[in-house]
Amino acid sequence: MLTKFKKKVQEKLAAEAKLAHELGLTPNMVSIIGIFLAFSSAIIYTQGRNPFYLLLATVVLLLSGFCDALDGVLARLYKQTTKFGGFFDSVLDRYADASVYAGIIIGRLCDPFWGSLALAGSLLVSYTRARAEAAGLKMESVGITERAERILILAAASLIAIFRFQALNIGIIILAVLTNLTVLQRSFYVYKKLKN
């Protein structure tokens, strides 16, 4: 859904990519920084309802998302794209997603059922894309909740939760519904394409 907007954002990250390149950072190094930030955000979420920790977890989560965008820009600008790099980035993204949801569940910031459903849906959104692309189908922008949308929904819910605690649980419920709806959308899309 935000794929076109994401591409525009990536175009604007050329200056940051240049700085990262001058500092000697490779795309894989930026991906590793991103996963470290995601794990840090997850650990902060485990601290529970404290408004300061919710704000800090959100900021660190957004920085992780920034790294996720930056590594691709850096790879393309400086011709460092590799098949392994794409694979490595994708695997780290799944660990990032899983750790953040786990941190929220462990911190009792959401109902465990909805948290688990959101986690499963999030992982399956990526899995359905990988399987479809292995079958030769282009899947970018298919579905309403890709990774960028998930991070933004989670960040918004976390910020609102500083003032109204239940907002994060509501955000997780929304993610549980939307991610699994995206899985259904992608499955139906693949079925139609392969049937034809």
Q: List residues with catalytic annotation.
A: 93
Closest by CA position to 26, among listed 66, 72, 92: 72
Q: How far apart are CA 101 and CA 179, in angstroms?
A: 13
Burial class (CB in 10 A: 0-12, 13-18, 19+), 170: middle
Q: How far apart are CA 166 and CA 180, in angstroms?
A: 22
CA distances from residue 144 to 2, 52, 175, 176 in whole angstroms, order as listed: 8, 31, 11, 13
Residue 59: CB atoms within 10 A of its CB come to: 16
Three-state DSSP state, 108: coil
For 135-184, the DSSP string reads TT---TT-SS--HHHHHHHHHHHHHHHTTSTHHHHHHHHHHHHHHHHHHH
Three-state DSSP state, 150: helix
Question: Which helix (H) or strand (E) segment is 69 a member of?
Answer: helix 51-77
